[in-house]
Structure 1
Amino acid sequence: MLVADLRVFLAVVAAGTLSAAGRQLDISPMQVSRRLASLEEELGVRLFHRTTRAVSLTAEGEALLPYARTMTEAEDNVMGELRPSSGSVKGLLRITAPSVFGQGIVVGLLPALLAQHPELRIDLDVSDKVVDLVGQGMDLALRVAPLADSELVARKLAPNPRVLCASPAYLQRHGQPGTLEALEQHACIMLQAVPRWPFVVDGALQYRRLPARVSTSSVDAVRSAAVQGLGIAMLAYWDVFQQIRDGALVEIALQDAQMEQLAVWAVMPTRRYVPTRVKVFLAALESALASYSQGT
């Protein structure tokens, strides 16, 4: 099976038509059609449903898709290793990240990263939903919540403890709680996905349901409500580190409980054939997280 034919296959999937794929690859639609026919003949299956206007994948085409990506990325990696003098990374890097972390951290990396690697392209999905990496063709997922068991490969990038925080104005009006019992007397801002707050008490994780003054499905909305003085919020460190550093929020420590220790994770479909573009991005991200943690 020729990798060149798989590249044509992937171009048609991305472009949606043979002519658009041909323009992307700088070859004629007839050449695209012949390459696809050759691939289908070799595999003995039909890969696309074709109409006069568009194409769509068959079940066999869907099954081929992740293998095609792996094989083309493997070839790209080999060629990159054989030409280290170029110092540049090519291709499309597809990332999914939580909304606040993606907007606050990942987007900030892109100007320098793209300037250093002019042939690199970024497709960033910013969403609090858990995306199917393999099904959506993602190179990398960044996760800031506890990881569910899966066959995906996870790599810890940085600590990300939960943080209790409130605005200086709120604490001036209502005081700062020092214990779990005192916290129960305060207005709390709830993220709907975390209706009970986790605390570590005497080494054991326990969950407390606290009085909610505001409840929302958005991490960004929880943070904004806290900044505006509506109550005490519990969010992950990397969701509020900038506001704590700037003084818009104050971190609250309890005497009888510690906060749950989470982490920022890089999740990948496989540890084999990790594209160079993924390695370069992760190196930049880890450097940025370390720099922010040190306050530089």
Structure 2
Amino acid sequence: MHSVSSVPAQGSAVAPVWDPHQYLRHSTHRTRPFLDLLSRIPRLPDHGRPARIADLGCGPGNVTALLADRWPDAHITGFDLSPEMLEQAEKDWSGTTAGGGWLDFRPADAAHWTPTEPYDLIVSNAALQWVPNHPESFAAWIDGLRPGGVLAFQVPGNFTSPSHALLGELCARPEWRERLAGQGRRFVHILEAPDYLTRLTALGCETDVWETVYCQLLQGEDPVLDWVKGTALRPVLTTLGDDREAVDAFLAQYRDLLREAYPPGRDGTVFPFRRVFAVARKPA
């Protein structure tokens, strides 16, 4: 999804249940990295037909729809594993686009997805951090591109920041360890920027890799907690399920830790967020 970061970790007992409405509460901040990624994607190859595009881990489809602004006549398919996210995406965005293209959505697990037809662009926005060993799929994804096609993605790079480190530490406390051991850290599967560069260039691609820290100013009461409720907290909330007492107790403890780590200021709460980007072009 977000982020959408909506592809669950493999090997987990319970796949996270996603809440599109919670995720979209911070859609302006969550969309900005995708727009920055989109601006660096080069011209796609012209094969005498509209571009074919895949959005892997499309979440609620709000950023998938932005692809149609750049490629108005393209056939764009968003793939996601979350039924909740796909339902929202289909409701809001599926069908003919303003430029005469087509936008649809299909269920797929990014950990096992491989192209079944040639694509001009495979893009993923804040999803691959949930997929262990996702770099092992790069070769198959690039093989699925037409000559001159592009693989482009961005992933959060903030898993050592207080928001995520504190979540992991809280899950490991004695009172939560039995139910939540590993839940706070299980989505940390990204590489450092130089490692992405090395892997993608080794596959013969012309590659651009960079990272950015967004200093986000969040508004409202406990805004960092509200942010992670849409992403990093989903495995924890899913595991605790309908145990309202446990959910409330966990959120209260986590809230207090976040308040100390991210104190509110006069104009809001500063929430730095690092992102890692990669754009790899297959030889023409």
Give yes or no for TM over 0.5: no
The structure in which a higher percent of residues are helix is 1
Of structures 1 and 2, the larger Rg is shown by 1
Instruction: State the TM-score, normalized to the length of structure 1.
Output: 0.30
TM-score under structure 2 normalisation? 0.31
